[in-house]
Amino acid sequence: MKIGICAPARPIDRIVEAKLSALAALSFPDVELVFHPQCYESDGHFAGSDERRGAAFLEFANDAAFDAIWFARGGYGSNRLLHSVIPQLGPAARHKTYLGYSDNGFLLAALYARRIGRPVHGPMPSEVNRADAGACVSRSLAWLTRGERSVLEPGLAGRPAVAFNIAILDALVGTPWLPDLTDHVLMLEEVSEPMYRIDRMLFTIAHATQLKGIAGVKLGMIKDVIENDPPWKGTAEDMIIRWCGEMGVPYLGRAVIGHDANNRLVPFGIA
């Protein structure tokens, strides 16, 4: 298997390539990891200009030699590429797996909306820096190379599902990049937001006409919450239950997804 790694949002440090290549050589010897030079470029906040990031993605996505595209890390930026890169994806792009999460949810959503490839919400190369002996990134490699189901979110239960960072889904509402999620289980996670902002984003999600018809909602991890002043009353689970009520869909419990070393994979659709 040949996996192309590019950075549609923010750059990574070269130590990521060294660590991940060493791990793969030991535990996944049949995989070839190819890091695009664009991963290390810098243009202010971004891993190169919009044009450079988009060109790197298209180069790998349209190359039939690659079996999968693995997004290097999150951060803001991948949404700025959608209008230019999605129309340029060719036949080879339709036969790949695309794996990442956080900001890369923009790309996963746009690909799924147009039935291009197999989008998957899951750990990214930058997470090789976690203090977990490589367990987090190994789950992604195990799914990409062997299709190991043990690394998937355990509550998939054969139903179509998707997973998003709440802020990304909130930003997708009202755009042409949000896929039809009728009959899908929607799994949500968030990081580094105060509770009031999460609540406000869930208001938009709960009342979005594009999301009518979902099968239910599962709540992933809400991490590194910024403290409210005054303190927020109630838990994230209280919040999601409230908005599920307004949305008229069942709350289906917790999901093991999010900005955490425990993050499990969620293939879009039916795994």
Per the DSSP assignment, residues forming a β-bridge with 165 are 189
Domain holding 178: CATH number?
3.50.30.60
Contacts of 262 (CB under 8 A, 6+ apart): 136, 221, 256
**One domain, residues 42 and 100:** yes
Domain count, the chain: 2
pLDDT at 157 over 90: no
Q: Mean pLDDT over residues 200-216, rounded?
A: 97
Q: Which of 2, 158, 7 is nearest to 76 (CA)?
A: 7
CA distances from 68 to 44, 145, 204, 214 (A): 28, 10, 33, 28
At 149 the pLDDT is 96
Looking at the chain, the whole-number percentage of residues with pLDDT higher than 90 is: 99
Element spanning 161, H or E: strand 161-165
> Rounded CA gap, 262 and 271, in Å?
19
Q: Mean pLDDT over residues 156-161, rounded?
A: 92
What does the longest C-alpha to C-alpha distance in the chain come to?
54
At 103 the pLDDT is 98
**One domain, residues 87 and 147:** yes
Q: Mean pLDDT over residues 34-61, rounded?
A: 98
Please say which residue of 129, 151, 173 terminates a domain: 151
**One domain, residues 101 and 21:** yes
At 48 the pLDDT is 98
At 39 the pLDDT is 98
Per the DSSP assignment, residues forming a β-bridge with 217 are 186, 251
**One domain, residues 31 and 136:** yes
Mean pLDDT of the residues in the chain: 97
pLDDT at 259 over 90: yes
Residue identified by tokens 């208001």 is: 203
> Rounded CA gap, 74 and 78, in Å?
9
Number of residues that this document lists for the chain: 271
Q: At what angle do helices 14-27 and 135-146 cross, to 10 degrees?
A: 60
**One domain, residues 57 and 185:** no
> Rounded CA gap, 115 and 179, in Å?
9
Q: Does residue 156 lie in a domain region?
A: no
Please say which residue of 151, 181, 210 terminates a domain: 151
Tell me the pTM: 0.97
Q: Mean pLDDT over residues 12-26, rounded?
A: 98
Q: 115 φ, ψ to 5°?
A: 55, 45
What residue numbers bound the domain in which 168 lies? 161-267
**One domain, residues 186 and 259:** yes
**One domain, residues 121 and 61:** yes
> Rounded CA gap, 208 and 96, in Å?
30
pLDDT in tens, 218-253: 999 999 999 999 999 999 999 999 999 999 999 999
Q: What count of other Cβ atoms lies within 10 Å of the Cβ of residue 62?
A: 16
Domain holding 121: CATH number?
3.40.50.10740
pLDDT at 97 over 90: yes
At 58 the pLDDT is 98
Q: Does residue 95 lie in a domain region?
A: yes
Q: Mean pLDDT over residues 79-104, rounded?
A: 98
In DSSP notation, 99-112 reads EE-GGGHHHHHHHH
